[in-house]
Structure 1
Amino acid sequence: MTLRFEEFYDWTKSELNLQLDGYKQKQLQRRITTIMKKSGANDLASYAEKIMADAQVKNDFLDYITINVTEFFRNKDIFTEFEHILTQELPQKFPNLKIWSAACSTGAEAYSVAIALKKKNLEKKSKIIGTDIDLTILQKAREGIYRDADIKNVDQTDLQRFFKAEEPFYHLNKDIKELVNFKQHDLILGKYENDFQVIICRNVTIYFNDEIKDNLYRKMSDALVPGGIFFIGATETIYNPAKYGLRKVGSFLYQKIE
């Protein structure tokens, strides 16, 4: 028996609780074909069997399909603009900050927020949640072990203060790791928490089609409190933010209209 991509998507949804039909198709199908061939499978049906029979094949599939690219203080100039709002402006408006790093991958973004808050003694007034669909990558986030490429934007003083170097790795200090609660969440299928002052979702929607992207922006906006901040990636633009109850306040920063 052979499977078409549409049937394979139905299978991933029923067996893996992973919705793939919302992704941009040409790009997605190239990625599936690449990882399928790497596994030794020649067609989607045999690949589905391999995924169910071999935990490593399953993990490789999930890791490859759910894009995991991140680094500390990604796009430094843009992050600095966000950091000013996070540590200077929002604390004047809100006594406590509830922050969500969505599709957090290995946790570098969530931990960057934790470091920024720690440096301003705001960590005790903040709650940081990091979510991703990939359980394997979430475990890596909890471990907090990184390489040179991940920490290239970290200032030397911060590197010495918040990391322990054990070449070729950098181990994040326990006091920073304890500031972030990681858990699994599917941006397309999952329910959203609410009452966030900050939501960070960067360079994720570029992989989704317009319908999924539109729905995601609506749900993100609904999850923010009035005056809350939505921080997106340098590869993304929200062309009509008012449609989602947002207004642009920075290069890649949007505020929930009060």
Structure 2
Amino acid sequence: MKEKDAPLDPLEIFSQIKKLLPFFRSFRRDKNSVDILNLLKDIARALQLVCKGGKNLLFDLTNLSRIQIESCFNLIGLGKLCIFYPHLQAVYAAQQTAFPGVWWMEKKERQQKVSSLHIEVGRIPGFVFLENKERIKNPDLKTALCSLGSSRISLQALVSSLVSYACEQIRDKTERKIHLNLLPLMMQDIKTLHCLIPKTDFTIYSREKQAWIFGTPWKNIWWFEEIADPQVNQKSIGLLICEFPYSLFPDCLELDISARRLEKIAA
């Protein structure tokens, strides 16, 4: 980000001072907060539109100075959910703010050296759905398992269930968790599963639930890791069968609450 170092002419300076006078009386912060509060008002309105079924909205921050971005950061902070996705053409990273439905979103084109910074308003960042388009539907996991030379009945049964769950049309957005440590599997079976269903670099991390979700090449199949025992930092690993882990993301009510909180801050 580049700071705005170009000098202002006296008339423009005077115009800015006039705009700041009522602001100083009602909200005693630095001079950059006027634009930031206006931005927060726009974000609150965008959240309300999203709640009514509107599309995600992006707010470009490239025209803001570093100080203004820091002021914005101080107001909306960081939340407990982040997403990383290295697409073929660009690398995306999103971090939820302290207001569910409002995201810091960074995008770096692979052919460029500088990344762009935005605030995205929406339940789920839009780039997430690019990943879903790259997945393979109806994977032939049974044939792939045979090619790996595994004949253990417990593993074959698990794979048959995975195929059944993953290939059926998921209409109710159910999420089926399969905890591998609860199944009669050997360490070699889990290694075979990792070969059969490799993790991709698409990653969701929930600090609130202390859980990681990893993409796979197959539609409706995800890996998950979560802290089973925080005292000893013991992890539980398994497979998540769903269209997308929607349960990690805010619902309409949370978006509405975020919009109201932002309106109070910006008032």
Question: Which category of TM-score, normalised to the shorter sequence, fits these structures?
Answer: under 0.3
If each structure's helix is expressed as a fraction of its own residues, which one has the higher value?
1
TM-score, normalized by length of structure 1? 0.27
TM-score, normalized by length of structure 2? 0.26
